[in-house]
Copies of this chain bind each other. A is one copy, B any other.
Amino acid sequence: MSDAINIGMFGMGNVGKGVVQLLAKNKSVIEKRVGKPVEIKKAVVSDLKKDRGVDVSGILMSTDPDHILNDPDIDIVLELVGGLDVAETIILRALENGKSVVTANKALLAERGRTIFRAAHDAGGCFGFETSVGAAIPIVRTLRLGFAGDDIVKISGIMNGTSNYILSKMSQDKSGFSETLEKAQEAGLAEADPTLDIQGIDAAHKLIVLMNIAFNGVFDFSQLHTEGITNITAADIDYTGQLGYTIKHIGKVRKTEQGIEARVHPALVPRDHIMSSVNGAFNSISVFGEFMGPANLHGLGAGPGPSAVGVAGDVIEAARYILTGQQRPVSPFSIPLEEWRPIDMVPMGRIRSEFYLRFNVLDHLGVLSSISKVLAENRISVRSVIQKGVPSETEAPVDIVIITHEAMEADVQAALGQINQEPFMAGRTQLIRIEPD
């Protein structure tokens, strides 16, 4: 065995650079914790000439994957390229070649989990994916190990730092979505292509990874109802603030009598709720277990530093197994392969919530009564209304905001389908679900 644990790293973007810096700066503390030095021996990148902005002088760089995958001295492969096809090939080949693998790739695990987890299960090495959800926030390991004795009833939280940053900023500056996104991009807090973040897809990937572990099955990403924050307006922030709520982008899964109810969308959160005070780029994940009650894990969910800590934790765990000549005793999926079955989610239409509905209407007499009538016909009961009159001589549309009692999603969608076609409607109705607890 070599004098060090040798890492081969695929990709050297922000997370990769963070890992390079961390392993250099914390070299001695990590050697102390592992019992041997942990070193990045090789890296595979797409552009060898690019200035990485970190000291890569001890790392053999190449553009050829075999440079790492066929090197018997490489103990641990880090997959930090992201995306689906290339990353999948790297991971599958690394596992086949008997290497331990550490990845932060939530998209791959959520969309192709069956293939990846099965390969990891069959292979001998460790498979670490703590960083795929919430960077260094230890939620993956906690669900696989610490909370494994409890029956998990609910997981909810703020799982995308970019969306949370934008919503926090909109709330603070009373600004609209597009201008806030632009500012976040200028400040380096949103990517040039922010689609995965602002459309809710990144949070949805993370929720699927957590659901797979917590509920002992395989969930189909395409079944997960996913909405982003692009439709949230300054007006919504204003009205919901008046009603005592903060708008947060959440992922939530609950075990109910109907089955597993999961969704990712913006939500109104009461101002004294633990999620309401999570600002900026922080993530916050709450877990409710039957015996343990509520627990919450909170920290920076992205960025080179926190992501590097997540990766390094998995690397150290793998290194300890390698040094003792052992294989990991816990399936990466947390349950034995034979228990590993697809689980269907409850269809979104059957989930009950309270709703914030903002109707943009031409200020005609009787509009509120017409809306209320359609809602009542669809078994939706109104809890409160904000209607602000405007001088009758103007033709400008006005907002009617309605907070409902708990109602079934399908009923609300049916009612809105009807109401949106009424001649008094000036725009599409805004719907945001309320997270009551």
Chain A residues engaging chain B, CB cutoff 8 angstroms? 18, 21-22, 25-26, 29-30, 32-33, 35, 130, 135-138, 141-142, 145-151, 216, 274, 277, 289-300, 305-306, 308-313, 315-317, 320-321, 323-324, 326-327, 329-330, 334-336, 339
Contact = CB atoms under 8 A, between A and B. Distances in A.
Given A138-B147, A293-B299, A326-B329, 12 more contacts: A30-B148, A32-B339, A33-B148, A35-B336, A130-B146, A136-B147, A138-B141, A138-B145, A147-B313, A291-B305, A291-B309, A292-B300
A334 B306 CA distance: 21
A388 to B, nearest CB: 32
Contact of A316 (B149, B321, B339): B149
Contact of A298 (B32, B295, B306): B295
Identical subunits present = 2
A295 B136 contact: yes
A229 to B, nearest CB: 24
> Which of A138, A312, A330, A339 counts the most B-chain CB atoms under 10 A from its CB?
A138
A139 to B, nearest CB: 9
Contact of A335 (B32, B130, B289, B295): B32
A295 B216 CA distance: 27
Contacts of A323: 329
Nearest to A130: B146
A294 B284 CA distance: 12
A289 B277 CA distance: 22
A291 B18 contact: yes
Contacts of A326: 326-327, 329
Nearest to A213: B33
